[in-house]
Amino acid sequence: MKLKLFSILAFGFILSLALPVSAQIDDSFNSIISPFRFYKDVQNVEIDVPTVVEVLFADEFIERLNFAVVDIATNTFEPYYFKREVITNEISVLVSSNPILDNLDLIIDKDNQTSVDFLLPNDEKGIAKINITSPKPITASSLSLLLTENVALPNTIEIRAVVEGQERIIVATKELGQQTTRFLQTVSDDWSIILTFGQPLRISELKINQDNIEKSSTRLIRFLAQPDSDYRIYFDPDRQTEINVGESGNLVSDQDVLILPSTTFESSPNYVIADVDGDGVADTIDNCVAISNTEQIDVNDNGRGDACDDFDKDGIINDNDNCLNQPNRNQKDIDSDGLGDVCDKEESRITEKYVWLPWVGIGFAALIIITLFTLTAVSYKKEKEVEEPGEENKKEEADEKDEEPEVPKTRSDLDN
């Protein structure tokens, strides 16, 4: 009986340890796939031995060419090979900007790992004008602006293009709520993109999506599938993500590759839009990305939330500044009350630092009053005690005077 009870307790203990680990694994897996917006399922593949399979991505609009191949049964990530489409007549472009940046070509290098920073000026909003020119006209109806992780989109965007020798506004100034902006199909060899931003802007890629290119092949994913296993391919994340996978076999070779029929894609239920500060406002539209500010208050309407702003221009953002309206770079606070000395009142500093001091003073005053009262009471009592015995003596003396003293009787008196 004791052995059985011990076995049950041991099993329960092991189970209690296993459950948190499982939960941690699920949380880790979900955090990895949360940036991906869509997925395709690869199921019921009829193979008897491990086989390289090929999944086509022909018509899907994909902003970021990042993928995650998952074994559904084990939630493990598989190595994959992505083969980019071959474009026969993509029109090359040149890019310039105001302000001038030396490394601006990084935003058209088709590499999501590289980026260009547009720094925020000391006052008001930042403005960046990016010009894209080409030797031949480009036909386009959308523009994609890809950012690095945990960076807010610009506040507004305006798109202009030179059409038939005249500059025209293709997209009037509007707030930017997503990374791809669509417009009526336009043909031009000279494009201007004007962005305003209230926080530092870090652009990974800027693409005018060319409608007039011809594709000689399509995009595809290859991975090694195991018999009796089902897979899910996550794609098009809204931000950069890194996934650790095991060793990969030769996925580049075209030999012994099983091409699977095209399948539809679905929106991922695990997708969670990036919100690094956890304030419920997505990073891309958050006016203060790194500091929680659910209300998104922006009193001076400069595109930066008040929590991230610097009203007094002392180099310390409001959220960290102990005196918002007066410069105090040293943040000096003698009384440690959270209010910088330049904003504090001189006469209140000692009592603010030592909050117990007024109570000590009150206690000391009360003690003095009690002591004086006690001394007065004791003195009064002593005076009364001294006064009472004197009156008794006087009374005794008066009684003695009233009484006749007894005279001893003589012999003659006795005889009479």
Q: Which amino acid would we find at residue 88?
A: T
- Give the confidence band of 378 by pLDDT, cuts at 50, 70, 90: confident
Please report the pLDDT score of residue 84 as a whole number: 81
> For residue 188, what is the domain's CATH number?
2.60.120.260
Shared domain for 246 and 170, answered yes or no, is no
Round to the nearest angstrom and report the end-to-end CA distance of the chain: 126
Shared domain for 115 and 77, answered yes or no, is no
Cα(49)–Cα(181) distance, integer angstroms: 46
Domain that includes residue 260, residue range: 37-86+216-267
**Does the pLDDT of residue 132 top 50, yes or no?**
yes
Q: Answer whether residue 238 is part of any domain.
A: yes
Neighbours of 137 (CB within 10 A): 16
By DSSP bridging, strand 257-259 and strand 51-57 are parallel
Cα(132)–Cα(115) distance, integer angstroms: 17
For 136, 138, 177, 355, the CA distances from 262, given in Å and listed in that order, are 34, 30, 32, 73
**Does the pLDDT of residue 150 top 90, yes or no?**
no
Q: Answer whether residue 11 is part of any domain.
A: no
**Does the pLDDT of residue 283 top 60, yes or no?**
yes
Q: What sign does the dihedral 177-180-181-182 (CA atoms) show? A: negative
Residue whose entry in the numeric block shows the structure tokens 């897996």 = 29
Shared domain for 173 and 189, answered yes or no, is yes
Please report the pLDDT score of residue 410 as a whole number: 52
Mean per-residue pLDDT of the chain? 84
Please report the pLDDT score of residue 58 as a whole number: 82
> For residue 57, what is the domain's CATH number?
2.60.40
Q: What sign does the dihedral 320-326-329-335 (CA atoms) show? A: negative
3-state secondary structure of 166: strand
Q: Are 121 and 188 a contacting pair, CB within 8 Å?
A: no
Q: Answer whether residue 203 is part of any domain.
A: yes
Neighbours of 185 (CB within 10 A): 12
SS3 sequence, 193-239? Answer: EEEEECCCEEEEEEEEEECCCCECCCEEEEEEECCCCCEEEEEEECC
Shared domain for 64 and 205, answered yes or no, is no
Total residues found in the chain within this entry: 416
Boundary residue ending a domain (267, 283, 307): 267
